[in-house]
Amino acid sequence: MAWGDTEGEKTANADAQKAAKNLATASEHHRRQLLIIAALEQELVIVDQHIDEAQKEYRAIERQALQLARTVLEEQ
C-alpha cells in the first residue's frame, strides 16, 4: 500500500475490523462450547452415580428375593 492511499487504508481497516469481529465471535462460540462440554461431563458423572446406585439396589433386591425363595422352599 502506498503512502496516501486512503482507499487502501480504509479497505485494510475494514478488513481488520471484520477479522477482529470474526475472531471475537469465534472465541465466544468456543467459550460457549467449553461450557456445554463441562456441563455434559458433569451430567455424565451424575448419570454414572445413578447407575451405580441402581445396580446396588438391584443386587440388594435380588438377594432379598433369593432369601425369600430359600425360606419358602425350606418351609415346604
pLDDT at residue number 2: 53
Does position 70 have pLDDT exceeding 70, yes or no? Answer: yes
d(CA 14, CA 8): 10
Does position 4 have pLDDT exceeding 70, yes or no? Answer: no
pTM score, whole prediction? 0.66
Across 29-38, average pLDDT: 99
